[in-house]
Structure 1
Amino acid sequence: MTTTQKLPNWDMTVIYPGLQAPEFEQGFAAGIREIDELAALFDQYQVAERPALVVDDALAQVFEAVLARYNEVLERSETLFTYINCFVDTNSEDTLAQAKLSELMNAYVRLSQLGTRFTAWIGSLDVEALLAKSEQARQHAHLLRRAQIQARHLMSPAEEMLASELNVSSGLAWSRLHGNLTSQLKVTLELEGETKEYPMSTVRNMSYSPDREVRRRAHEAELAAWKSVSVPLAASLNSIKNETNVLADKRGWSSALEATLFLNSIDQQTLDAMLEAARESFPDMRRYLKAKARALGLEKLSWYDLNAPISKSEKNWSYEAASRFIVEQFGSFSERLADLARSAFNENWIDAGPRPGKVDGAYCAGLRRGESRILANYSPSYESMSTLAHELGHAYHNLNMRERTALQSGSPMTLAETASIFCETIIRNAALKDANKQEQMAILSSSLQSSFMVVVDITSRFLFEQGVFEKRKQRELSVDELNNLMLDSQRQTYGDGLDEAVLHPYMWAVKGHYYSSDFPYYNYPYMFGLLFGLGLYARYQQDPEAFKQGYDELLSSTGIANATELAARFGIDIRSKDFWRSSLAIVRQDIERLEELVDTL
C-alpha cells in the first residue's frame, strides 16, 4: 500500500505478502477447509439440538474436543476476515479484495450455522453438571450459561440454517452496499471559486474548519450528496430493520431491543437508568452549545458549527506530535500501555490518512492475539489525536484478551468501550494540564463535543432507531419519512441549543451503525461506554495503585462476566441512576469550566 499525505498506512504483510501472493491463496484455502473440517467434527459428535443428554465423562471429553477445535477455527477466521477487510475498507474499489470478502462471507455462513448448532447443543445439556466435570467448561462458564438462554430463542434448525444462508444476500449484502456506496461517494464542492470533487470523508472533515463559510458550503454539499444516494440507502435501511424485526419475533424476543440488551449483557433497568440520567443532563448539554455559540460570536449554532474550533490552539497536533504525546501520556498510567502504543506506531498498525475509496470514521480490529489494526482519517487536530488515543484503547483491550480463547473474547458492545474512553480521558487531562487558557478552551470544547454527541446525539439515534423499528412493522419508510423522523429526534434532544432550521436530516444515511442486522441498536452502547469509562476514571483518581491492580484483569474479563458483575468490582452499581448522574456530573464540571473561559476570554 502507498502512503497518502505522508501519513502511514497499515502493514498487512505480517500475515501475507498481499492478496495476489501464493501464501495468501494457501492460507485462504486452508481457512475454508478448516471450517469444513469443523463441520465434519460437529457431524461426528452430533453437535446440534438434541433431547436432554446425560453428562458423563465421555460427553465431557467430547465437549472439550469440540470446544478446543471451535476456538481454533474462530481465531484463525477472525485473522483472515480482518486481513481481507482491511483492503476493502481502505479501497472499496479493490475488486479482488471485494471478491475474496464475498467468498469468505459464504464460508462464514457455514461458520455461523455451526455457532447456532453449538448453542443449540449447549441448550440440550445440563450445564451445571458439565461444569462439575470439565475444567475447560468452567473456564467458559459465562458463555455456556448465556448459550442456555440463547438456545431458548432459536428457531428450528432448518429455519436457523435458512436465515444464515439468506443473510449473505440480505442483511450482510445491504450492509456492504451501504459501506461501498458511502466510501466511494464523491462530493461536488465549490471553494474559493474552484469546483472540485472530494471524497465524503474529506468533506466531513471540513466541519472542523475555522472558516464558517467553508463549513456551511461543505455541509450543504454533503447533504446534496446524501440525497443523491438516499433511495438505495433507504432500501438498505428498510430491509435490514425488517429482517431484524422478523427474526426477533420468530426467535421469541419481545422486540429487537430485548434481543440487543441480551447481546450487550445488560438489562432494561440499566438501560432505563442510563437514558433517564442522560435526559436529565440535556439542559446542561445545551448550556455547552450556547457557550460555544457565544465564543463563535453567533446567536445560535447551526449543525455545521458543532465541530467548529472555538479557540486557536498553538499546539501542533501533527500525526508525529500526537504519536509522541500519546506514548508519553500513556506511560503516566503504565509502561505496558505505553508499550502498546509504541508497537502500534512503530510497527504500522495504523492506516492514518483519508483518501478516495477509504471508509469514513475510525475503528480498531483485532488481527491476531494481542495485535490490532486501526483505521483513522487523521487531520492535524486535537480531535484526531483524541480519536487515535480512543482506538489505541481498543487495541489495549485486545492486548489484555491475548490469553483468552476466541469464545472468551466476545466482549459485549457496552464493555468494548471501557479502555477506549479511559485512554481518551488520559490524553484529555494531560493536554489540559499544561495548556494556556486559549488551548484549554479548544481542548475542553473538543472533549465536550465528543461527550455531547455520545450523550445527546446517541439519544437522538436511539429515538430514531426505535421509531424506525416500530413503523417498519407496518410498511417501508420513504426517504422523506426517514428524514422527518431523524429531524424530530434531533429536535427532541438538541432542543434550543441548535438552529432548528439547520439540522442534518440524512444522519441516518451517514452512520453505518444503523446498517447491521447482527447488532441492532448499535448506538446506545457508546453512551454506556463513555459514562462507564468516566466512572472508572474517577475511581482511578481516588486510588491509582489499587485501581491499576484490577484494571487489566477487568479488561481481560469482559467476555467472561456480565457488566453488572464487573462494575461491582469497582463499587459501581450500573442499575442505579445515581451512578450515571455521577459520571454526567464530571461532564457538567467541564461545561462550567468552559463557560468561565468563554466569558473571560
Structure 2
Amino acid sequence: MKKGALPARTEIPDKYKWRMEDIYAGDDQWEQDFRKVEEMTGQVEAYRGKLGESARSLLEAFRAREKINELNEKVYTYARMRRDEDNTNAVYQALSDRAESLSARVQTAVSYFVPEVLELPAETLERFFQEEPGLELYRFALEEIRRQKPHTLSAVEEQIIARAEEVTQAAANIFRMINNADITFPPIKDEEGKEVEVTHGRYIQLMESSDRRVRRDAFASLYSSYRKLINTLAATLGSSVKKDVFYARVRRHPSALQASLFADNIPVEVYENLIQTVRKNLPLMYRYIRLRKKMLGLDELHMYDLYTPLVKDIKWDIPYPKAVEMIREGLAPLGDSYVETMVRGINSGWVDVYENKGKTSGAYSWGPYGVHPYVLLNYQDNLNNVLTLAHEMGHAMHSYYSYKEQPYIYAHYKIFTAEVASTVNESLLVNYLLNTVTDRHKKLYLLNHYLEQFRGTLFRQTMFAEFEKIIHEKTESGEALTPELLCSVYRGLNADYYGPEIVVDREIELEWARIPHFYTAFYVYKYATGFSAATALTRQILEQGETVVSRYLTFLKAGDSDYPLNLLKATGVDMTTPQPVQEALDLFGELLDQMEELAG
C-alpha cells in the first residue's frame, strides 16, 4: 500500500479485509443471538443448587453452560472485531459495549457451577460417571475443577476474597496510573539537533538510533524520571509482591511461585530448570555481547547500545503477496495439508491486512469457535511484518485445528502452549530465509534479528523470572523490598546475564521500576519456555521430518484436552527436563558462529 495519509476503511479493497460475514451475515443476526444469550442466562441459572441431584442434572448443567459460553463468545468476538476495524465507528462502539456487559451477566449466571462441583463427594461423582455415559466427555474438565479443591476455601471465605480483589489490585492500578498517565521524561535532541519528547512509545525507536549520543540521552532521560519516583515505585512493587504472598498463604500453597504454577499444573522444577540452564549457558551471551561491541566499533559497550541494529541501511521491501509466498515456502516442512489450509485461509477472508483510519494497532489472532480463526495485521512492507504474519498464522492454525477437533470445552489452549505454535512458524521461516538468502547484508540482518529474539525472549525474560523469584522469596522470609535492595538485586542480575564485556550503567538498576509484567507475577517465564519448546520442535521437524510433523499436528489438534506439559511431552518435548532449553541455547550458539564468521 502507498505511504501517506491513512485510507478510510471503505477505501481498502475487499480482498485485503477479513470476512466478518462468516460469523454473522449482518448485524440483525447478531441481535438475534444477543437476545438468545439473554434468554439462556435464565436457563443456565435454573440448575443452581441442583448439580448433586443426579448424573443427568450435572450433564445437562454442563451442556447448558457450554452452550451459553459458546454463543456468548460468538456475540462478543464479532462486536469487538467489528469495532477493531474502525474504533471511531459509533455503531460498533455500542455493540461492543453491549457485548461487554452481556459477558458480565453470563459470568454471573454460571458462577455457581465450580463451587457446587467442588462440594460433590468423589464417590458421588464416580457413581455419576457409571450412571451417565455422556459425562465421560467432561471427566478431564471435572478433574481440573476438583484439582483446585485443596486450595479452595469455604463459600463465605471465597466471597470475602472475591470482595477483596478490588483492594488487592490497588498496587497494579497505581503503577499503571504512574507509568501511563503521570510520569514524563525530559526532552532530548534527535539526530538533527531538534528537540523531541521522550515517551514510552518512542523510547525503543530512540534506543535503535545509529547516533550514540541520542541513545545515551534517551536512556538517561527515561531513568532520571524513574529515579525521582523510586520510593513510591518500590512501595508499589513491594505491595504487589505482598499480595501474591498473601493469596498463596491463604490458599495453602507452599510459596507464591508454586501458587502461580498451580494454575497450569506446572511443577516448580520447570521454572528452576529454565533459570539454571540459561545461567549455565551465559558465556554464549557474553560472546554475543563481545560481537556486538566489535561490530559497532566501540571501546566500551553500554546498556544503551543493546538495541541499535548491527546491520544498517538495509533495503528489503516485501509487499504482502510476496510475504504470503515466502511463508508458503518457509513452512513447507509442516506438510502440504498444513500449508494449503493456511494459504486457503489467507486467501479467503481470514486476514485483515492493511492499516486504515481508526483501526486497532498491532496484530492478533482471534475468532469464535465454530467459525474459523481471524488475524488482524497492520502490514508494512518489511521483514518484521512478514515474521508477524507467520507468527499470527501459527496461532490461527493452532485455533483452526483445535476448533475442528475438540468440543468447545477443550478448544481453547493455554498461554503456556499458545506461543509454541506461533514461534515454530517464525523459526521455520527464519531458517528457510537463512538457507535461501544469498545477499551477505540481508543474511547478517536475519542473523542479528534472530539472535535478538533469543536475547529478548530467552535470556531477558529468564532474567526477569529470576528477579521475580528472588523478590518473592525475600518477602516470604520477612525481608522488606527497599529501593536499595531492589536496585542491588537487579543490578547484580544484569551483571551476571550480560557479563564482563558490557558496562552495567547505574541507570539499569532501575529497570525493574518500569516493567508492567512484574505486577502479574511469574508470567514472563512462559515466553522463555514457549520459545524453547518451539525451537526444540523446529529442530526436530527439520531433522526428522514426517514423524515429528505428525506428532506436532496432533498437538495442534489437542487444544486444552490435557495439561500443557503432557501435550508437549507427546510431541517429544519434555519441559520437565533442561533439554529443550539447552537445545534452544545450542541453536543460539550455532547462529552466533555463523554471524561471527560472516561479520569477519
Please tell me the TM-score bracket, short chain as reference.
Answer: 0.7 to 0.9
Q: Which residue of 2 aligns with 1:574?
A: 575
Q: What SS is found at the alignment partner of 2:63?
A: helix
2:295/2:310 contact within 8 Å kept: yes
What is the CA deviation profile of residues 278-321 of structure 1, one whole-angstrom value per residue up to 9, with x for unaligned ones? 21111112211221221121234433433322124443245564
2:140/2:561 contact within 8 Å kept: yes
**Residues 407 and 503 of structure 1: is their aligned pair in 2 closer, same or farther, counting only changes over 3 Å?**
farther
Q: What amino acid is aligned across from residue 530 of structure 1 in structure 2?
A: F
1:185/1:200 contact within 8 Å kept: no
Deviates more, 1:227-236 or 1:339-348: 227-236
Q: What amino acid is aligned across from residue 243 of structure 1 in structure 2?
A: K
Q: Which residue of 1 aligns with 2:67?
A: 72
- How much has 1:200 moved relative to structure 2? 3.5
**Residues 344 and 159 of structure 1: is their aligned pair in 2 closer, same or farther, counting only changes over 3 Å?**
farther
CA distance in structure 2 between the aligned counterparts of 1:38 and 1:434, rounded to whole angstroms:
57
Q: What amino acid is aligned across from residue 141 of structure 2 in structure 1?
A: L
Matches within 5 A, 1:18-57: 31=37, 34-35=40-41, 37-43=43-49, 45-46=50-51
What is the CA deviation profile of residues 217-245 of structure 1, one whole-angstrom value per residue up to 9, with x for unaligned ones? 55455556767998997777555544333
**Residues 332 and 470 of structure 1: is their aligned pair in 2 closer, same or farther, counting only changes over 3 Å?**
closer
Q: Which residue of 1 aligns with 2:282?
A: 282
1:204/1:222 contact within 8 Å kept: no
Q: Which residue of 1 aligns with 2:3?
A: none
Q: What amino acid is aligned across from residue 343 of structure 1 in structure 2?
A: G
Q: What amino acid is aligned across from residue 148 of structure 1 in structure 2?
A: R
**Residues 515 and 343 of structure 1: is their aligned pair in 2 closer, same or farther, counting only changes over 3 Å?**
farther
- How much has 1:60 moved relative to structure 2? 2.7
**Residues 274 and 214 of structure 1: is their aligned pair in 2 closer, same or farther, counting only changes over 3 Å?**
same
- How much has 1:62 moved relative to structure 2? 2.1
1:183/1:356 contact within 8 Å kept: no
Q: Which residue of 2 aligns with 1:388?
A: 389
2:353/2:379 contact within 8 Å kept: no
Is there any run of 5+ residues in structure 2 with no aligned partner, and where?
1-6
CA distance in structure 2 between the aligned counterparts of 1:287 and 1:325, rounded to whole angstroms:
31
Q: Which residue of 2 aligns with 1:149?
A: 147
Q: What SS is found at the alignment partner of 1:42?
A: coil
Q: Which residue of 2 aligns with 1:253?
A: 253
1:415/1:529 contact within 8 Å kept: yes
Q: Which residue of 2 aligns with 1:158?
A: 156
Q: Which residue of 2 aligns with 1:448?
A: 451
Q: What SS is found at the alignment partner of 2:393?
A: helix
Q: What amino acid is aligned across from residue 292 of structure 1 in structure 2?
A: R
Q: What amino acid is aligned across from residue 148 of structure 2 in structure 1?
A: Q
CA distance in structure 2 between the aligned counterparts of 1:572 and 1:280, rounded to whole angstroms:
20
Q: Which residue of 1 aligns with 2:533?
A: 532
Deviates more, 1:80-89 or 1:68-77: 80-89
Question: Is structure 2 residue 546 aligned with structure 1 residue 545?
Answer: yes
Q: Which residue of 1 aligns with 2:497?
A: 493
**Residues 98 and 573 of structure 1: is their aligned pair in 2 closer, same or farther, counting only changes over 3 Å?**
closer
Q: What amino acid is aligned across from residue 65 of structure 2 in structure 1?
A: Y
CA distance in structure 1 between the aligned counterparts of 2:200 and 2:526, rounded to whole angstroms:
26
Matches within 5 A, 1:183-198: 190-191=189-190, 192-196=192-196
**Residues 321 and 194 of structure 1: is their aligned pair in 2 closer, same or farther, counting only changes over 3 Å?**
farther
Q: What amino acid is aligned across from residue 448 of structure 2 in structure 1?
A: S
**Residues 46 and 265 of structure 1: is their aligned pair in 2 closer, same or farther, counting only changes over 3 Å?**
closer
Q: What amino acid is aligned across from residue 244 of structure 1 in structure 2?
A: D
CA distance in structure 1 between the aligned counterparts of 2:410 and 2:456, rounded to whole angstroms:
31
Q: Which residue of 2 aligns with 1:459?
A: 462
Q: What amino acid is aligned across from residue 276 of structure 1 in structure 2?
A: Q
CA distance in structure 1 between the aligned counterparts of 2:30 and 2:373, rounded to whole angstroms:
19
CA distance in structure 1 between the aligned counterparts of 2:501 and 2:541, rounded to whole angstroms:
33
Q: What amino acid is aligned across from residue 299 of structure 1 in structure 2?
A: D
- How much has 1:548 moved relative to structure 2? 2.4
- How much has 1:434 moved relative to structure 2? 1.8
CA distance in structure 1 between the aligned counterparts of 2:527 and 2:119, rounded to whole angstroms:
33
- How much has 1:477 moved relative to structure 2? 5.4
- How much has 1:322 moved relative to structure 2? 3.2
What is the CA deviation profile of residues 563-599 of structure 1, one whole-angstrom value per residue up to 9, with x for unaligned ones? 443344344443333443233212221122222222x
Q: How many residues align?
A: 582
**Residues 575 and 423 of structure 1: is their aligned pair in 2 closer, same or farther, counting only changes over 3 Å?**
same
Q: What amino acid is aligned across from residue 416 of structure 2 in structure 1?
A: T
Q: Which residue of 1 aligns with 2:55?
A: 60
Matches within 5 A, 1:549-564: 549-564=550-565
2:19/2:350 contact within 8 Å kept: yes
Q: Which residue of 2 aligns with 1:437?
A: 440
1:349/1:374 contact within 8 Å kept: yes
**Residues 305 and 154 of structure 1: is their aligned pair in 2 closer, same or farther, counting only changes over 3 Å?**
same
CA distance in structure 1 between the aligned counterparts of 2:202 and 2:166, rounded to whole angstroms:
31
**Residues 212 and 157 of structure 1: is their aligned pair in 2 closer, same or farther, counting only changes over 3 Å?**
same
Q: What amino acid is aligned across from residue 311 of structure 2 in structure 1?
A: S
- How much has 1:325 moved relative to structure 2? 2.2
Q: What SS is found at the alignment partner of 1:254?
A: coil
**Residues 565 and 85 of structure 1: is their aligned pair in 2 closer, same or farther, counting only changes over 3 Å?**
same
Matches within 5 A, 1:285-364: 285-312=285-312, 313-317=314-318, 321-338=322-339, 339-340=341-342, 343-344=345-346, 347=349, 349-350=351-352, 363-364=364-365
- How much has 1:419 moved relative to structure 2? 0.8
Q: TM-score, normalised by structure 1?
A: 0.80
